[in-house]
């Protein structure tokens, strides 16, 4: 049972406090948490569960905002973490993002959402489509009406249509003139390449995202051609677990609109579509840098939006970098970004230049980590393929669509 939720900015300010039970949690727990975060550094922020002297703390960080939940009793930690993730997702969808200004400008809606999402410390309603029926998303008209009428509440006077149903994530009997269902495979590649160019880690984190606009009460089954490659699956509550456990088939009654059906991982991939070959030499207070970027294995689709970024070491006083393709920008915080776009066929993109070290330093002792970004439309690099999507009762004018895309996640090339 959760007792309190705090939203903390990246400066340590408590932007929002929501007490969930009759037992009040003192805000001093936030001061203890922030002191520990400062003293222990980034490693402390990576801990999802923390045991303080008085409470168990659960945290996630989204876009610089820390969502912190407290409990004085033992509870399943994954339930607390999953609920905080749901809160972050709902707030991002409602507010169009998640940052300090958006939370402060819409704190009434944030409180109203938390009131509906958790009851006496236990998660209650977390489905976005149902929450939208209960609490209207903020817009300019609603803000003007609240100023004129003095009524700042966005909560509906009636319960959502699916509240009394056996499938509370779906409204009762929605109707569409054209029935459509779309399935997207969205994957991120996480990889680590060491200084010898060897692939230390390469895995895919993927999501099956759907947009369902179907009339009535549809019952769907989705099957994959090669489900055995999937690991660490997480399912939407609408998925029946027994058909997946016995036949690796997703059977479900979908929510109305957009939702994430499942997430998964595919581990131990053998190669990456793009290679990065950096070289840095230093002598007499000057460093020479050269970075090559090219296609390692052709995925069959165009690789787009290729970028390479790295943080210049603090001991670098100035940098003179240029490339034979794309643009290079260096920000005031010493972040260098090389925007390549697509790999040309007639040449290999190369970034080169010199770095000048601070006075008194002869050689560079701290080397940067290069972070690669890219996007490939129309293919899932994990190899996962959708075999078929069936409906038990086929409505009139049914249209089904499938798409796939892969982008870089945490893709690090280390020196």
Predicted confidence (pLDDT) per residue in 156-200, tens digit: 666 666 555 677 788 777 888 889 999 999 999 999 999 888 999
CATH topology of domain 274-377: Immunoglobulin-like (2.60.40)
Q: What are phi and psi of 83, to 5 degrees?
A: -65, -40
**Cα separation of 217 and 215, whole Å?**
7
pLDDT value of residue 408: 95
Q: Where in the chain are all domains bearing CATH 3.30.450.60? A: 4-126
Enclosing H/E stretch for 37: helix 28-40
**Cα separation of 270 and 375, whole Å?**
19
pLDDT tens per residue, range 348-367: 999 999 988 888 788 888 88
Q: Where in the chain are all domains bearing CATH 2.60.40.1170? A: 179-269+381-414, 274-377
DSSP for residue 227: G
What DSSP letter does each residue of 184-239 carry, written as one string? EEEEEEEEEE-TTS-EEEEEEEEEEEEEEE-SS---EEEEES-GGG-EEEEE-TTE
User: pLDDT band at residue 40, thresholds of 50, 70 and 90?
Assistant: confident
Q: Does the reported pTM lie above 0.85?
A: no
Tracing tokens 């479900």 back to the chain, one arrives at: 252
Q: What is the CATH number of domain 179-269+381-414?
A: 2.60.40.1170
**Cα separation of 337 and 339, whole Å?**
6
pLDDT value of residue 379: 93
* Nearest 10 degrees: Cα torsion 24, 30, 33, 34: 180
- DSSP E strand boundaries for 11-103: 14-19, 49-51, 56-62, 65-71
User: pLDDT band at residue 154, thresholds of 50, 70 and 90?
Assistant: low
Q: Sign of dihedral through CA atoms 130, 131, 134, 140?
A: negative
Q: What are phi and psi of 279, to 5 degrees?
A: -140, 130
Copy the structure tokens of residue 394. 């086929």
Give me the architecture of the 4-126 domain, per CATH. Answer: 2-Layer Sandwich (3.30)
User: pLDDT band at residue 386, thresholds of 50, 70 and 90?
Assistant: very high
Q: Report whether pLDDT(148) > 60.
A: no
pLDDT value of residue 313: 87
User: pLDDT band at residue 403, thresholds of 50, 70 and 90?
Assistant: very high
Q: Report whether pLDDT(396) > 80.
A: no
Copy the structure tokens of residue 292. 């090559």
Q: Sign of dihedral through CA atoms 235, 239, 241, 244?
A: negative
**Percentage of the chain exceeding pLDDT 70:** 93
Three-class SS state of 218: coil
Distance of CA 132 to the CA centre of its chain: 21
DSSP for residue 87: H
Label the pairing between strands 179-193 and 398-413. parallel
Mean pLDDT of the 317-344 span: 91
Helices (DSSP H) in 219-318: which residue ranges? Answer: 241-247
pLDDT tens per residue, range 283-321: 888 889 999 999 988 888 999 999 999 999 888 888 899
């Amino acid at each position: 049972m959760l007792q309190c939720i705090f939203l903390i900015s990246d400066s340590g300010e408590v932007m929002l406090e929501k007490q969930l039970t009759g037992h009040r949690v003192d805000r001093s727990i936030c001061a203890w948490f922030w002191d520990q975060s400062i003293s222990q550094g980034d490693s402390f922020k990576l801990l999802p569960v923390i045991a303080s002297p008085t409470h168990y703390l659960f945290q996630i960080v989204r876009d610089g905002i820390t969502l912190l939940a407290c409990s004085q009793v033992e509870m399943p930690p994954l339930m607390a973490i999953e609920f905080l993730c749901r809160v972050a997702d709902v707030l991002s969808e409602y507010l169009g993002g998640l940052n300090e200004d958006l939370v402060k400008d819409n704190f009434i809606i944030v409180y109203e959402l938390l009131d509906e999402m958790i009851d006496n410390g236990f998660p209650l309603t977390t489905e976005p489509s149902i929450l939208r029926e209960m609490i209207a998303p903020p817009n300019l008209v609603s803000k003007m009406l609240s100023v004129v009428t003095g009524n700042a509440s966005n909560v509906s006077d009636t319960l959502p249509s699916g509240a009394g149903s056996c499938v509370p994530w779906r409204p009762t009997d929605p109707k569409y003139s054209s029935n459509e269902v779309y399935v997207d495979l969205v994957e991120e590649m996480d990889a680590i390449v060491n200084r010898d160019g060897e692939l230390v880690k390469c895995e895919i984190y993927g999501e099956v995202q759907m947009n369902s606009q179907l009339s009535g009460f549809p019952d769907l089954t989705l099957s994959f051609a090669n489900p055995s490659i999937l690991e660490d699956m997480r399912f939407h509550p609408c998925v029946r677990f027994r058909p997946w456990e016995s036949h690796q088939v997703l059977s479900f009654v979908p929510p109305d609109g957009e939702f994430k059906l499942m997430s998964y991982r595919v581990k131990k991939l053998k190669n990456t579509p793009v290679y990065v070959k950096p070289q840095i030499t230093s002598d007499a207070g000057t460093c020479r840098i050269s970075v090559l970027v090219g296609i390692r294995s052709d995925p069959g689709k165009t690789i787009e939006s290729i970028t390479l970024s790295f943080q210049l070491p603090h001991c670098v006083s100035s940098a003179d970098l240029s490339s034979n393709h794309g643009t290079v920008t260096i920000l005031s915080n010493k972040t260098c970004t090389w925007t390549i776009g697509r790999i040309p066929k007639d040449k290999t993109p190369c970034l080169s230049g010199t770095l000048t070290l601070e006075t008194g330093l002869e050689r560079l002792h701290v080397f940067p980590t290069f972070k690669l970004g890219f996007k490939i439309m129309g293919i899932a690099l994990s190899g996962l393929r959708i075999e078929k999507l069936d409906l038990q009762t086929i409505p009139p004018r049914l249209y089904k669509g499938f798409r796939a895309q892969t982008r870089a996640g945490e893709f690090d090339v280390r020196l």
